[in-house]
Chains A and B, each alone.
Chain A
């Protein structure tokens, strides 16, 4: 199979699937929905080649529960879907979190609400970062911004999932899923984090019963269980924050964006600099845990090497393909220390560099109005 160091041209969805397989994913269940269909299609071809299992489930609900079963059996298991399908999976994701099962769920986001459209969007940020299903739980969320990252983050997601026994989400969007870019696949078989799974239900043999379970009817027991998983979430918050700062050295103003929008904003920052505005870009890679510390570092001038000696930014512009979801996390992180502006497009429209640049120019000219009102 494909195993060479030179780049190959791949769709984001295919790269994600190949990345998962090379990370040892051996069970995939999915259901057709645009714009993620290339993932199950790729898995259907590839899984038999590596001795893995592909199941086309009768629904997204069934798919996530198949993943629950496979993950409980100790296998690296994954499902993918797009927004409406991810809503259906929320029950299962909550059960995975409750039963502390490692699994990877990819959401190739499309516009909503309801059936919405099939073009790219970022309107599932709240759902992804606030748990999504019922109960008080969190899932680490990785936001790739290139086809290479679609490939790389599949493996990273499995590693995080196994390390913490927790479901991990990959939040992509229709553009990332559908686009082709050169991808560098691992030249040698990927080193897979090998976390022992003594808890897996593999048949009892001569040990004690293994039980995959999330029911605790005794309130004290359930609270204790919740305290334990909350402790785990705190650990994740400390250890798994990931982000990228672009053109940050001397920036006095920052765009904040993830995924496809971050690519647009990188263009914007370059164009703004050509016009004399020192614009930088903060790109959260983990949406949960959110890189709040970066904002502290910027605003308090604290020890972030990447930003040492930078001026204190006079403001932030969050750009999203939504009416403003991640901007809440930016506001919480900034906590009133600087104005936070917002610009968003929805419905499947990717904001163009030109319109975002116009917004930046307005802000620099002091004409953007109240930060909360900025954007459309």
Chain B
């Protein structure tokens, strides 16, 4: 099994750390891993992204061009990468920053145009079109071999006490959905990666990870079926 993951967002959202923690956790489990950042001036204020590969085989190309896991933390990243997602694929969207009705998200699952709101469609498990399914609150939609997870990560993190832990909320959902690494490995990765200076943030980060995982468990996630 090979996970090719791309994390993208603003500089300062903890994009690089998310990727590093996953790579670290994979390494702890004895898997082959690679992590490579976008680097240079674009890191200053613009979009930042990093590619992570976690695999049972030696990692070939470390630069992920067709991610099976795409994590987008801001709108420009969604615009830039949504049409690179591999099938089957999972897309994790921080809807605290990105409009949950962004047309790109609909397109990802094979819908054209704007999605109608849940109210207009009536209650129950929504079926948008023949091939598109969604959870009741539409925070997970699926179709064309892609699932889109819309996570209000900053708000969830704020509720936990620190909005900056949004990246850890996201990471918790990613783990729960993909099973790429064990939660325990992520926890030890966090222990190793967080510098002594930031030890006080350990608790909130762990809490955010678990809350992210819980978010997935509390949703009736559609199965990922291959496209076509």
Contact = CB atoms under 8 A, between A and B. Distances in A.
The reply to whether A and B meet directly (CB within 8 Å) is: yes
Interface in A102-147: 118-119
20 contacts: A7-B27, A9-B33, A9-B35, A34-B40, A35-B40, A118-B40, A174-B39, A178-B36, A178-B39, A179-B34, A179-B35, A179-B62, A182-B33, A263-B59, A263-B60, A264-B61, A270-B60, A352-B61, A352-B63, A352-B66
A350 B58 CA distance: 18
A353 interface: yes
B70 to A, nearest CB: 16
A188 B131 CA distance: 58
B23 interface: yes
Interface in B57-92: 58-63, 65-66
Interface in A319-376: 350, 352-354
Contact of B60 (A174, A179, A181, A267): A267
Contacts of A118: 39-41
A179 B61 contact: no
Contacts of B66: 352, 354
B100 interface: no
Nearest to B66: A354
A353 B20 contact: no
Contact of B36 (A34, A180, A182): A180
Contacts of B32: 182
Interface in B1-27: 20, 23-24, 27
A8 B34 CA distance: 12
B81 to A, nearest CB: 14
A22 interface: no
B39 A263 contact: no
B37 interface: yes
A129 B185 CA distance: 44
Contacts of A267: 60-61
Contact of B61 (A35, A182, A353): A353
Contacts, number: 62
Interface in B80-111: none
Interface string A35-59: 1000000000000000000000000
Contact of A175 (B20, B27, B62, B65): B62
Given A180-B20, A354-B66, A263 B61 contact: yes
Contacts of B27: 7, 9, 182
A165 interface: no
A35 B61 CA distance: 18
B128 to A, nearest CB: 30
A76 interface: no
Interface residues of A, number: 23
Nearest to A120: B63
Given A174-B39, A182-B27, A352 B62 contact: no
A266 B63 contact: no
Contacts of B33: 9, 181-182
Given A34-B39, A179-B34, 18 more contacts: A9-B20, A9-B23, A9-B27, A9-B33, A35-B39, A118-B40, A118-B41, A175-B36, A178-B36, A180-B34, A180-B35, A260-B61, A263-B59, A263-B60, A263-B62, A352-B61, A353-B61, A354-B66
Interface in A139-187: 174-175, 178-182
B192 to A, nearest CB: 9
Contacts of B41: 118
Nearest to A356: B61
Contacts of A181: 33-35, 59, 62
A266 to B, nearest CB: 5
Contacts of A178: 36-37, 39
Most buried by B among A9, A266, A270: A9
Contacts of A34: 39-40
Most buried by A among B23, B32, B35, B61: B61
Given A7-B27, A178-B36, A354-B65, A264 B59 contact: no
B1 to A, nearest CB: 14
Contacts of A266: 58, 60
A350 B39 contact: no
Given A181-B33, A353-B61, A9 B24 contact: yes
A1 B89 CA distance: 41
B63 A350 contact: yes
- Which A-B residue pairs are the 10 nearest by beta carbons? A267-B60, A179-B36, A180-B35, A264-B61, A118-B40, A352-B65, A182-B27, A266-B60, A263-B60, A179-B62
A266 B59 CA distance: 9
Contacts of B36: 175, 178-180
A266 B35 CA distance: 18
Contacts of A175: 36, 62-63
A270 B57 CA distance: 11
Contacts of A353: 60-61
Interface string A225-243: 0000000000000000000
A9 B193 CA distance: 10
Interface string A300-314: 000000000000000
A263 B41 CA distance: 26
Contacts of B39: 34-35, 118, 174, 178
A180 B60 contact: no
Nearest to A147: B34
A266 B41 CA distance: 31
